[in-house]
Amino acid sequence: MNLRSPTELNFGAANMAAEWARWSRDWQYYAAARELAAKPMAVQLGTFFNCAGVSAQEIATHFEWQEADGLPALLAEFEAYCNPRRNVILERFTFNTRQQRPDESVTSFLAALRSLAATCEFHDVDDMIRDRLVIGVRDQGTQRALLRQSKLTLQEAINIAISEEASTRDQQSMAGARSEEPQQNTNDVCAVSQPVAPPSSVTVSAQCRFCARVHVMRRTQCPAWGKTCNVCGGQNHFSGGIACPRRRPAGTSGAALGAAGGARAPRQRQFGSGDGRRRPPDGSGPRVAAVQTPEDEDPYIVGAVFETETDEAAISYRR
């Protein structure tokens, strides 16, 4: 039978009493599994020194002990060597400041508390371990569950702490499984559920009759829309636009315009079907107003009129 042997006894440990308590417990289990009690004393001693290590062999040479005294006497010598003077106050301080470490399970934390309590000489060991378990546990949910119990025993505290730890671990596993599920793309859903508005049919720039500038024939693109004309006081056009009834011709000063009584207003007529009037050359688009300037009686479309709520416009052309 292949058994794990105890690790070497660490004589450089900060708390030698706790180190000996740990090692001797491990040794007792190993000796029982190997059935050393039924074997010759030489085998028992050889196995002990092999497990305890070279340092233990060197220290044993200073004991008042002979091989004929046997293994129990050797264990007593090491017990006295590792516990020469026990400071109970220090042992209890170490116990009372012990906290559950990160990634340390409740069972491991409980085992550490039991080991520390063994050297504290408590009158009621179970109560002290129970209190330290409630105070030192890391998870606040577990601590609240323990504090809700008015009459809490050590065994009840152990059961609650282990149960809460298992519940938290299961909850984290479920949350991790949900996060790995493929998520539906909300952009795709919006693209399917929301109809896309058709693009505007007017995307060509032309000279506007309201602001006399070149831009896309849409109301929102006209800088004159919503403004007041400085010449005639009208709305939604500038003084240089054809839409102004007192439009200032190019090269005419304000004084000359005032003396002449203002320029003759352009005339407008509608293009419709069946009345000899015209639509744009391609036959499509809304009806628009053709503007005749005083200088040119021949109809000359110099701009487009915003006549529909959808802000559609016809592009200028000349017949």
Q: Where are the domains of the chain?
A: 16-82, 88-171, 202-319
For 103: left if phi > 0, alpha if psi spans -120 to 50, otherwise beta; the answer is left
Give pLDDT, residue 317: 36
Give pLDDT, residue 44: 92
Cα–Cα distance for residue pair 236/247, rounded to 1 Å: 14
Q: What is the pLDDT of residues 217-246, one digit of tens each?
A: 788 888 888 888 888 888 888 877 787 887
Give pLDDT, residue 242: 80
Q: Which CATH number fits domain 88-171: 1.10.3210, 1.10.8, 1.10.1200, 1.10.10?
A: 1.10.1200
Give pLDDT, residue 195: 56
Cα–Cα distance for residue pair 101/110, rounded to 1 Å: 12
DSSP run (H or E) holding 95: helix 88-96
Give pLDDT, residue 291: 41
**Three-state SS at 262:** coil
Q: What is the pLDDT of residues 81-126, one digit of tens each?
A: 888 767 889 889 999 999 999 999 999 999 999 988 988 889 999 9
Which residues of the chain are modeled with pLDDT < 50?
Answer: 189, 191, 200, 250, 253-280, 285-319
Give pLDDT, residue 243: 78
**Three-state SS at 228:** strand
In order of 52, 72, 216, 313, the CA distances from 220 in angstroms are: 92, 103, 9, 12
Q: What angle do CA 123, 124, 125 make, to 5 degrees?
A: 105
DSSP E strand boundaries for 187-302: 205-207, 214-216, 267-270, 289-292
Count how many residues are written for the chain. Answer: 319
Contacts of 156 (CB under 8 A, 6+ apart): 149
